[in-house]
Amino acid sequence: MMKSLRIAGVAGALLLSACVTAPVEVAETDPADLILTNARVYTLAWGDPDGEGNPAADAPFDGSNWRPDAEAVAIDDSAIVFAGSAQEVLAWQGAATRIVDLRGATVLPGLVDTHTHVVEFGAKLDVVDLTDVATEAEAVALVADRAKMLPAGEWIIGAGWDEGAWANAYPDKALLSAAVPDHPVVMRSLHGFGLWANQEALDAAGITAESAVPEGGEMRLSDDGAPSGLFLNRATTMLDKAIPTASLETRMRQTRKGLMQMARDGYVTVHEAGADTHAMETFAALEASDDLPIRVYAMLSLRDEPLMRRWIARGPDSDTDSMLVTRSVKAYYDGALGSRGARLLEDYADRPGHRGVSGSGYGFDRELNEAAMKAGFQTGIHAIGDAGNREALDILERVFAETPGARDNRHRIEHAQVIAPEDMGRFAELGVIASMEPPHAVEDKTWAEDRLGADRVRGAYAWRTLLRNGARMTFNADNPGSDHSIFYGLHAAVTRRDKDLKPAGGWYPEEAVTIEEAIRAYTSWSAYAGFREEETGIIAPGRWADITVMDIDPFTLARSDPAKLLDGEIVMTIVDGRIVYER
């Protein structure tokens, strides 16, 4: 029997003919709204791999090669109703069903980025982008060009200069002030642990050599004793109050722009790491206007005490299926490794006598964090150094002893970047999730060993060691600090090589993960980190229709030609049964 069907392929809507070789029974339930067919579907509906990355016995893996375990998916309303063969899926076809011929594209459970700063990312799309700028002079030239387009006195914001790569030659205000004398300029670093300003911005903020510097921060001074314009770690907050707050309408526009970019890049959910009052207002306004294109899991900023007190009194959201869910807290415990703010057990290898900052010295409010945990919130503690990680684990362990029920809230260490050997097993013992960034390993490799030395660096970005010790893990990009492309993330995770395919053989390749582990760390394991493993993370009937479609098969490429992972593109992103992006 020949039927003419209107089928939308990966390049848009096309009128094709579909051959049905045998009669298909009509579904007893309502027909599906959407059918994806002719696809390579990996449902992940099989057991997890073991600590060495060996696939489970029921995985679609023959010992050498992976194979898809389905070729079609049917979606009705906001749920998956079928995953299986292209023949059987036609039982879900109705007169109004849209059928998408994916022509061999790969279908995965929807991607989740569990540590992002999408408000900042959206705003960055409007500011001077300094990502990958190599020198101070290049950065200043970009700002000067922007100044020509703006009236005198308007603030100019830049973001993206690399505080790790520039650590031995930090910029100051001199060149920037000379080139842009009529605009306050503030330029945030790639990971947010450095800030560079001109004299006009210092004047607007009233900052002088006598200004109080927050604990755990450093305000550099020039030879004349005046502020140089360079602020590190907690000192970056000194200019925040002087920068005009964008209107709610502007923030909504910027944030939605950031969320839509994440959708275009295949993500169905982001965990916003450190949402302050303004961010929460923005998310709430977008939700109220039904304008959140993807799901937002909000991690409240522990640094915003008034916001925290309100939420502690109210308690965390109890639902999981709203587009905006708030049940987590982001807390900074130590600084960054690149700017030498991460707290280490022993001196920095490239700065004797210095061990970084942590705890109250970095603005961490222990009482507020414990109050949030005891009120039922998940906490995600930013910890980079080996001392920072040990102390963060100690804090969690003490709260668990006082309030055993708090242990159930799936607390996280954000970054878990450098860990002493004796602390590797504590993540599993305490049920703490390691929330980590594959891009950080391949981006930091040029200077991380300088900071840590040859022995201690072996406990850094140690994905395999943590998994071998039974830790739960989730992957993300700390966007906009790193490129959040899933293809870059997967490539970094399985090869330990950068975009230039360096170094040959990978950087400490023994800590690499398998492609299955990497994909799970962006899907099913990330679902667990957000308390959603019963609703999403695998493709199966009854699960949310949150799906990512890409034009490469990462399971096969990771084994045959991993460099080609970097060439992948997103074909379609489906959230709550709605196609929010289609190539």
* 466 within some domain: yes
* 292 within some domain: yes
What does the pLDDT average to over 158-162?
A: 90
> Among the three residues 179, 211, 238, which one is the final residue of a domain in this structure?
238
Could you give the CA distance from residue 423 to residue 466 in angstroms, rounded to a whole number? 10
Whether 391 and 480 map to the same domain: the answer is yes
> Which of 40, 38, 35, 39 is closest to 19 using CA atoms?
38
What does the pLDDT average to over 184-192?
A: 91
> Among the three residues 238, 270, 291, which one is the final residue of a domain in this structure?
238
* 18 within some domain: no
What does the pLDDT average to over 490-516?
A: 98
- Using 50, 70 and 90 to split pLDDT, how confident is the model at 3? very low
> pLDDT above 90 covers what percent of the chain?
86
Output phi, psi for 340, to 5 deg: 60, 35
> Which of 136, 363, 125 is closest to 236 using CA atoms?
363
Whether 232 and 182 map to the same domain: the answer is yes
Contact 271, 299 (CB under 8 A): yes
Whether 407 and 335 map to the same domain: the answer is yes
Q: What is the pLDDT of residue 29?
A: 60
Q: Where are the beta strands (DSSP E) in 190-263?
A: 194-197, 217-221, 227-233
* 481 within some domain: yes
Whether 437 and 380 map to the same domain: the answer is yes
CATH of residue 219's domain is 3.10.310.70
Whether 286 and 410 map to the same domain: the answer is yes
pLDDT tens for each residue of 310-350: 999 999 999 999 999 999 999 999 999 998 999 999 999 99
What Cα–Cα distance (Å) separates residue 208 from each residue in 227, 239, 404?
Answer: 6, 12, 48
Whether 162 and 278 map to the same domain: the answer is no
Q: What is the pLDDT of residue 193?
A: 87
Neighbours of 418 (CB within 10 A): 27
* 82 within some domain: no
Q: What is the pLDDT of residue 485?
A: 98
| Total number of domains in the chain | 2
For residue 270, give the H/E element and its range: strand 267-275
DSSP string, 16-75: EEEE--S--PPPSSPPPSEEEES-EE----SPPP-TT-PPPTTSSB-SS-B--SBSEEEE
DSSP string, 452-478: HHHHHGGGBS-HHHHHHTT-EEEE---
**Enclosing domain of residue 321:** 248-531
> Among the three residues 238, 256, 282, which one is the final residue of a domain in this structure?
238
Whether 257 and 288 map to the same domain: the answer is yes
CATH of residue 397's domain is 3.20.20.140
* 403 within some domain: yes
Could you give the CA distance from residue 559 to residue 101 in angstroms, rounded to a whole number? 26
Whether 265 and 219 map to the same domain: the answer is no
Q: What is the pLDDT of residue 14?
A: 26
Compute the mean pLDDT over every residue in the chain, rounded to the nearest whole number.
93
What does the pLDDT average to over 418-434?
A: 98
Residue 254, pLDDT > 60, answer yes
DSSP string, 187-200: EEETTSSEEEE-HH
* 209 within some domain: yes
Whether 354 and 399 map to the same domain: the answer is yes
> pLDDT above 70 covers what percent of the chain?
95
* 310 within some domain: yes
pTM, to two decimals: 0.85
Whether 182 and 322 map to the same domain: the answer is no
Residue 13, pLDDT > 60, answer no
Q: CB under 8 Å to 190, separation ≥6 — which residues?
A: 131, 159, 160, 161, 162, 163, 164, 481, 482
Whether 493 and 428 map to the same domain: the answer is yes
- Secondary structure in 3-state letters for 310-359: HHHHHCCCCCCCCCEEEEEEEEECECCCCCCCCCCCCCECCECCCCCCEH
End-to-end Cα distance, the chain: 31
What does the pLDDT average to over 526-540?
A: 98
Whether 343 and 481 map to the same domain: the answer is yes
pLDDT tens for each residue of 266-307: 999 999 999 999 999 999 999 999 999 999 999 999 999 999
Residue 354, pLDDT > 70, answer yes
